[in-house]
Amino acid sequence: MAEQVEPAVLIVGAGPSGLVLALHLRLNNVPVRIIDKQPEFSIGSRATLIQPRTLERFSLLGITREEIFESGVVAHQMRIYAPPAGTTAVKTFSFQEPLEPRPSVPFTQPVTMSQDIFESILRSKLAALGTKVELGVELKSILNIGDEPPIAELHHITQNRTEMLKVPYLVGADGAKGVCRQLFSIPFLGETREADKMKIADVETDGITNEFWHMWGSFATAAVGLKPLGHGNKFQYQLVGPKVNHEALQTAEDLQKEFWEISGRKDITFKNVTWITTWRGNMRLAQSLQSGRRFLIGDAGHCHSPAGGQGMNTSILDAINLSWKLALVHNHHASPSLLDSYEAERLPVIAEMLDLTTALHEKVWENKNGIDSKAPPIEPTKEDNTDPMYRPKHFSQIGVNYRKSPIVFDERISSSEEGEGEGSGSSFYHSSTTLQAGDRAPDAQLTFTPSPEIGSVKSPHADTLFSFFHPSIHTILIFPGTSSLKSEKFVDFFSAIPWAIAQALVVLPKESEEEIPIISGCQFGKDLQGSAYADYGIGNGVSELTAVVVRPDGIVGGFAKSVGGVKTYFEKLLGVDGYRMLMSP
């Protein structure tokens, strides 16, 4: 029997944020336990929209594009029908404005996937690393407070026994109604709108195509929609409007009759209804995401309207932001003070997202014209951003940034200019065309050259920059420009890299013909399309060498023009002593 390792992190809640955190930590070789009080895994589609930013992070979790599209589909266009028959389409439009296709963005549109299927994929990846969700285990109390390691009182429901577990860190991922936030004594600020409700169910029907997200009725009275949940005949049933009597709709038969009443489509019958719930308007944000060694992620720290398709995606980015920092601290590479940057980076993003989704919520719930038959004749025209169902492209979360973070560094600008760059006012999205420290690192297509040091006979091969990134280490992208690979400055850059937590990739310009030197631990890739140099803000023909430090969460942590710049970034991240220890022979 394998020796049981004491967990470094206890994760309470096995929804998307808890599972992603557990998986990311295990990929960093951090031992974890993940518990959930439910006796069985949840069913139901619930959150269904996976944004481009989340999709591109999946590669770090070992989830392939093939696995994504085996169960998920590119988000459908919405199609609205006119009464009374409900068969004539009056408008077809994209739910969300797509991103411009380019090498830096591997996904341009969201993907629709049922949440229970997504969670099963995450659980399988986690199990492959030797960690399983412990069902029927409930957090009852935390016996100590302050900065001491939490002592969690766990109740094993089926066995009716109590376990006391002392753990270095505890993360609450147990949702808006969970106990963690209350046990942490963190206020949940915001409002509940009891009048704003939506009935949601999973239904199967062969009565209509799965090529569109179909809607009938009016938000001013009652509207009903069928959103495809994959490649088959399963749809998410969505019912909203001030005239809907939610209390009277409890059974599959009730939902069917209400659908017929609003849509007029009695040719559409539901064969199977597997899950019914009522969502109530609850828009809140925790006053803090951290209390000593305790953290909140996902809905435990923020809940909001589903109108923006942001909740699960924001929760997953919470988990990815926190995980690599916990790993550095657990492995004694960084001071525990690094964990303070989790709240500093995530809270501004979440606050802005909450404002945006609440504004969209009000467009839907307070809409007086809704999706009536007065809409213009159907034609694939440019989306109208006044439509209550329209989502601009920044909802892809590609623009989420941490430019004002205390742990990012840009040697190209003075300290007085930090955080004041072009388009730097928003943490949720920015209009800047110039990449800055704290921004998402762009993807690129490179031709990788085998390292001469291992005597490889493998031919150069094309691959993405994202394929080189890793969830447990930083990646130093070195852009030599026209500088010689034999120059003293180029070679000196490698002396500042803490190899225990970093890897290096030299990005050669497309016109480079210089012989590749042997540098231990370093790989080389040629930017034949020129997109890496362009998107990382390195001009053509520039002779000055630049290093871009990409964090394990895919964020540009720093820009360096010198060895001192690389050193400064890691000293900010790890502390002077932490960096010195990693650089010691």
| Least trusted range by pLDDT, from 64-78, 361-375, 466-480 | 361-375
pLDDT of residue 378: 36
Question: Residue 377's pLDDT band (boundaries 50, 70, 90)?
Answer: very low
Cα 496 to Cα 176: distance, rounded to the nearest angstrom:
44
Site of tokens 């518990």: 35
Is residue 422 predicted with pLDDT exceeding 60? no
| Least trusted range by pLDDT, from 448-457, 461-470, 546-555 | 448-457
Does residue 460 sit in helix, strand or coil?
coil
Domain range summary for the chain, segments of one domain joined by +: 409-583
The rounded percent of the chain whose pLDDT value lies above 70 is: 90
In tens, the pLDDT along 99-121 reads 999 999 999 999 999 999 999 99
In tens, the pLDDT along 39-63 reads 999 999 999 999 999 999 998 899 9
Cα 165 to Cα 561: distance, rounded to the nearest angstrom:
47
pLDDT of residue 483: 82
Q: Once rounded to an integer, what is the mean pLDDT over residues 73-82?
A: 91
Class for the domain spanning 409-583: alpha beta
Does residue 262 sit in helix, strand or coil?
helix
In tens, the pLDDT along 501-532 reads 999 999 999 888 888 888 887 899 999 999 99
Letter string b/e over residues 557-578, b meaning 16 or more CB atoms within 10 A of that residue's CB: bbbbebbebbbbbbebbbbeeb
In tens, the pLDDT along 81-90 reads 999 999 999 9
pLDDT of residue 104: 95
Taken in order 405, 408, 414, 419, is the CA torsion positive or negative?
A: negative
Is residue 489 predicted with pLDDT exceeding 90? no
Does residue 441 sit in helix, strand or coil?
coil
Q: Once rounded to an integer, what is the mean pLDDT over residues 558-572?
A: 95
pLDDT of residue 387: 64
Is residue 337 predicted with pLDDT exceeding 50? yes
Cα 566 to Cα 559: distance, rounded to the nearest angstrom:
8
